[in-house]
Structure 1
Amino acid sequence: SLPLVGQEYLEILSAWYCGFGRCCESGDCRVLNNVTGLELDLSEQLHGQHVASEVVVRAVRGFLQSPRARPALVLSFHGWSGTGKNLVARLVAARLYRDGLRSECVRMFVALFHFRHPQHVDAYRVQLEKQLGDTTQRCRQALFIFDEAEKLHLGLLDALKPFLAHCDNKGQAGNQRCIFLFLSNVGSNTINEVTLDFRRAGRPREEIPAELLEQRLRQELRQSADSGDAHHHFLEESLIDVFVPFLPLERCHVKLCARDAFLARGLPYTEAALDEVANMMAFVPEEERLFSAQGCKSVSQRISYSLP
């Protein structure tokens, strides 16, 4: 084997060489595009979200496999907090890019963190346009994630629109491809109503069709009195390709999240321990207690209380 110094030199040289996209068949070693792995991860780690899993895998696979696909794919995630929107975004990044969220081809923005002061929206717009442009120039395939998307200031839309349409800001498509994920709580009440109607009718949630949820989401966004919502404008200008609804989680799903949290810590668990964690969560509606008000959020913290 090589001496340590020689190994370090080889690794540095390899990293430099790969930076030019010459070290693997894809043309860019930073990009994996392992959709099969994504599908497996979703089936194992995402609970109670048959619609979201199917829609995301179908959309991403179709976009990546079609040589004539539009240069940008825009997915809009909708649902209550704790239902899996951030988890899916992380899994998409992890399976499409070697370094996941740490990849230089992936940028994540949280509206109230990165763009918190409305009075600075002009500076934010210039900064955002530069960040998007730099990333698309650096990477032939870029992933952009916007959390709390409903809180994006309308002044930022001018920076976003060219990239949503063409994956650049020059008004024409190049060789770059972009995937945008917008995560939002908007529409969660509509999704919850549909899920509740199915439950009260004695029908399993697995029978809820994606088409019904998308139709109801589009109706809510179009009829929204708050025209200041970024989603309203994206919809009006046909910039959203796919709506991804996340259903409210039931007690059985919370217990699965608790099981995952125990396993992630390497801790043993019992059915009683999972029940104890679920009992700590608030469920709604009050009279039926069907859905976790926080989804699986805070479950990993709550398992500490069930430890002996």
Structure 2
Amino acid sequence: MFCKYNLIIILVAVDLKLSNSFSFNPVCWLSECCNKDYIPGDIERLRTSLRSRVYGQHLVEDAVDAISGHWNPHHRAEKALTLSFHGWPGSGKNYVTKFIAESLYKEGMHSSFVHNFIGRVHFPEEEKVKQYNENLGIWLKGNISQCPKQLFIFDEVDKMPADILNAVKPMIDYKNIVDGVDYTKAIFIFLSNTGATIINEHYHRLWHAGKKREELKLNDFENLISKGVFNEKGGFHHSDTIRSNLIDHYIPFFPMQEYHVKECIKDQFRERHVHNPRGSHIQEVMDFIEWGPDDSKLFSKTGCKRISSKVALLVAKHYPLASKQEL
């Protein structure tokens, strides 16, 4: 009797799994597979996340449209999609990248199809560039061979040794097949602080001219970044590696102004179950922010970075019930 009931339960579970799954492979019930279950590519979720959680960066919508078009089942991409995010620390580059991963992949940043390389961590030694490139080339080819819809994130590109990304160049060029592997469905995102000065100065000029932030368009900045970023001193070292014509879209991340930072602070309070923080506590976090440039004090020099720990301290000190709820 026990075995009979167990069998019924198993059959019901299998039936439910099959009715709600795109995959009939039992392996995929237990581990991540390269299918729509695990790579839903939920563009609407991405739009919603960015509109409700990212402040002052309306041009990231262009990145969303680029991803949507790239993975359009009715369109055959000619190359891997390459996005280059530029701006000051704390302006939201990593934050947006996290939302992209969470919307495209069921497991988000923990997905085996999402790969995050950090310049100073993964490529720390200048003299090992050749070895890094060889390993990276083999590794990229192996992963994309297993599943074409991969997301590769290269953070701190400006802090990588020169020519570290030679291995990537053939894979993001206008070629459908490289050594028998199709790279056209892959997405590469490069994150760099380089170009921040150019972006900030141009934005400051437009602001002084009376142009509203929300009126700014990608073409107000993209050519400026693509030309200037490769010449910026101490910047993007890879002018001979990732040529500007291999980057599909340069996305500027604007410096954060006072009302954007306040929204970030409120968001951090909400994450800790405090939905109506006192104004004095918001201001207490704001007091830690350093502002620039000197003539206008318009921008936060660290964007929304470093506010999380300040908010955590205030919640623990003044909102004990919320602190317990989080635990």
TM-score by length of 2: 0.82
Deviation at 1:253, TM superposition (A): 0.7
User: Structure 2 vs 1, CA of residues 137 and 28 (structure 1 numbering), >3 Å: closer, same or farther?
Assistant: farther
What does residue 257 of structure 1 align with? Answer: 264
Instruction: Tell me if structure 1 keeps the 8 A contact 2:200–2:254.
Output: yes
Deviation at 1:16, TM superposition (A): 0.5
Q: Encode CA deviations 1:48-103: one digit per residue, 9 max, x unaligned.
A: 00112x21111111111152212300000000000000011111111011111111
Instruction: Tell me if structure 2 keeps the 8 A contact 1:283–1:293.
Output: yes
What does residue 104 of structure 1 align with? Answer: 112
Task: Say how many residue pairs are matched.
Answer: 300
Deviation at 1:20, TM superposition (A): 9.3
User: Structure 2 vs 1, CA of residues 97 and 201 (structure 1 numbering), >3 Å: closer, same or farther?
Assistant: same
What does residue 322 of structure 2 align with? Answer: none
Instruction: Tell me if structure 2 keeps the 8 A contact 1:32–1:96.
Output: yes
Q: Encode CA deviations 1:266-302: one digit per residue, 9 max, x unaligned.
A: 1251222222211210010123211000000011111
Higher helix share: 1
Q: Encode CA deviations 1:250-274: one digit per residue, 9 max, x unaligned.
A: 0111111110111111125122222
Task: Please point out which of 227, 247, 269 is paired with 1:240.
Answer: 247
CA distance in 2, matches of 1:264, 1:181: 27
User: Structure 2 vs 1, CA of residues 72 and 264 (structure 1 numbering), >3 Å: closer, same or farther?
Assistant: same
Read off the aligned partner of 1:90 and give its amino acid letter. Answer: K
What does residue 154 of structure 1 align with? Answer: 162
What does residue 87 of structure 2 align with? Answer: 79
User: Structure 2 vs 1, CA of residues 205 and 302 (structure 1 numbering), >3 Å: closer, same or farther?
Assistant: same
Deviation at 1:36, TM superposition (A): 0.9
CA distance in 1, matches of 2:178, 2:194: 31
1:32 is the counterpart of 2:43: no
Instruction: Tell me if structure 2 keeps the 8 A contact 1:83–1:246.
Output: yes
What does residue 70 of structure 2 align with? Answer: 63
CA distance in 1, matches of 2:240, 2:269: 40
Q: How does 1:98-247 map to 2 (within 5 A)?
A: 98-165=106-173, 170=178, 174=182, 177-224=185-232, 229-231=237-239, 233-236=241-244, 238-247=245-254
Instruction: Tell me if structure 1 keeps the 8 A contact 2:195–2:232.
Output: no
Q: Encode CA deviations 1:11-46: one digit per residue, 9 max, x unaligned.
A: 9x965046696xxxx944221111111011000111
For structure 2, the 5+ residue unaligned runs are: 18-23, 319-327
User: Structure 2 vs 1, CA of residues 277 and 183 (structure 1 numbering), >3 Å: closer, same or farther?
Assistant: same
For structure 1, the 5+ residue unaligned runs are: none
What does residue 57 of structure 2 align with? Answer: 49
Q: Based on CA coordinates, which of the two structures has the bigger radius of gyration?
A: 2
1:299 is the counterpart of 2:307: yes
CA distance in 2, matches of 1:290, 1:172: 52
Deviation at 1:159, TM superposition (A): 0.9
